């Protein structure tokens, strides 16, 4: 299957990165290189693009799409390890970092990846197919309470306990193996008059987040990305649901030196550090035109942070 992915908020990201021709830029989720192609076209021969992805198939596609350029390096890793990756590349600071946290259209549409609740596939949902944990293990092995909690917390699904209970009842009889088996279970316990979109959407989101550990490292990833920037360097992060956006917003607020001390204290004792400024007081949203042309952009939000010249331990 061809790796098709329409980059979301493309022009807004390029403007947000404020690209310098000879700068070093990181696309931490390179995918099909949609954003990266635009970035590298704004660089001269002295500039460098670093593309990171945990999906080896995405990196192969990116390599082919960037074949006309020499000033790029591809890394099979997780953007959560941004500081280690740069250290291994012997790069201390960069001019810009882009993180597109969405699942690519290819991953959603590729049948054997198991991300979609509308296609029959084995329960998988791994962005990095070399890792051990997959959706099948989560669905069939997690204790009922743990399963209910993650569906509630990561999917914001109010029927999480019903769904987890039914899963655990049925998996005693037979292992749940496919996406549509799971969808059928969810549909059997979610009241039809309470549906907000597809009944399986929230549960699938929750399991995907758990399999790929998308939320727990995100706060530190945002902070570490800011630390990796040169003065006036920019961090652009695109989120696709409220859980991600809240974490990124809080991390950027904290990195801008927001004091969280109780009111009334004569001096700040919380250790707030001012790494720079939030460029986007409110997140940038897709235009009506983009949302009409690419339905998967509808929930996207872009937040941008600019580094100052202060250094901390």
Token pair 């990796």 is found at 228
Classify the C-alpha dihedral 280-225-98-212 as positive or negative.
Answer: negative
The reply to whether 244 and 172 lie within a common domain is no
Model confidence over 81-105: pLDDT tens digits? 999 999 999 999 999 999 999 887 6
Model confidence over 33-91: pLDDT tens digits? 999 999 999 999 999 999 999 999 999 999 999 999 999 999 999 999 999 999 999 99
Domain boundary among 212, 239, 269: 212
pLDDT of 220 > 90? The answer is: yes
Average pLDDT over every residue of 185-212: 90
Average pLDDT over every residue of 139-168: 97
- The DSSP annotation for 217-256 comes to THHHHHHHHHHTEEEEEEEEEEE-SHHHHHHHHHHHHHHB
pLDDT of 183 > 80? The answer is: yes
**223 contacts 254 by C-beta, under 8 angstroms:** yes
The 8 Å CB, 24+ separation contacts for 285-288 are 286/8, 286/9
Residue 56: per-residue pLDDT? 92
User: Which domain covers residue 157, as residue numbers?
Assistant: 110-212
Residue of 74, 53, 45, 57 lying closest to 4 (CA atoms): 57
Domain boundary among 212, 246, 263: 212
313 found inside a domain? no
In sequence order, the 6+-apart residues with CB closer than 8 A to the CB of 308 are: 231, 274, 275, 276, 277
Residue of 143, 154, 103 lying closest to 126 (CA atoms): 103
Count how many domains the chain has. 2
pLDDT of 250 > 80? The answer is: yes
4 found inside a domain? no
The reply to whether 123 and 172 lie within a common domain is yes
Domain boundary among 212, 247, 269: 212
Residue 1: per-residue pLDDT? 43
Phi, psi of 249 (to 5 degrees): -60, -45
CA distance 209 to 114: 13
pTM over 0.75: yes
Which CATH number goes with the domain that contains 92?
Answer: 3.40.50.150
**3-state helix, strand and coil shares in percent for the chain, rounded to the nearest 5:** 40, 15, 40
């Amino acid at each position: 299957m061809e790796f098709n992915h329409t980059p979301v908020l493309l022009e807004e990201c390029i403007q947000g990165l404020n690209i310098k021709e000879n700068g070093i830029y990181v696309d931490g989720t390179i995918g099909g290189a949609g954003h990266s192609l635009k970035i590298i076209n704004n660089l001269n021969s002295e500039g460098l693009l670093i593309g990171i992805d945990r999906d080896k198939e995405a990196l192969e596609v990116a390599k082919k799409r960037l074949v006309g350029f020499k000033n790029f390096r591809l890394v099979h890793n997780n953007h959560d390890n941004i500081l280690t990756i740069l250290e291994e590349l012997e790069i201390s600071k960069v001019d810009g970092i882009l993180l597109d946290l969405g699942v690519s259209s290819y991953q959603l549409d590729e049948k054997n990846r198991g991300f979609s609740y509308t296609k029959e596939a084995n329960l998988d949902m791994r962005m990095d197919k070399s890792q051990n944990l997959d959706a099948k293990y989560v669905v069939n092995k997690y204790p009922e309470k743990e399963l209910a909690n993650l569906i509630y917390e990561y999917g914001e699904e109010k029927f999480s306990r019903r769904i987890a209970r039914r899963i655990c009842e049925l998996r005693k009889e037979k292992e749940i193996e496919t996406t549509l088996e799971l969808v059928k279970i969810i549909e059997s316990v979610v009241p039809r008059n309470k549906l907000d979109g597809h009944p399986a959407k929230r549960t699938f989101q929750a399991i995907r987040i758990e399999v790929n550990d998308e939320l727990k490292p995100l706060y530190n990833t945002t902070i570490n990305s800011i630390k990796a920037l040169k003065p006036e360097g920019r961090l652009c992060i695109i989120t696709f649901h409220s859980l991600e956006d809240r974490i990124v917003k809080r991390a950027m607020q904290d990195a801008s030196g927001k004091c969280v001390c109780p009111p009334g204290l004569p001096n700040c004792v919380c250790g707030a550090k001012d790494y720079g400024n939030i460029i986007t007081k409110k997140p940038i949203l897709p235009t009506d035109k983009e949302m009409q042309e690419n339905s998967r952009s509808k929930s996207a939000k872009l937040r941008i942070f600019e580094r100052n010249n202060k250094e901390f331990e």
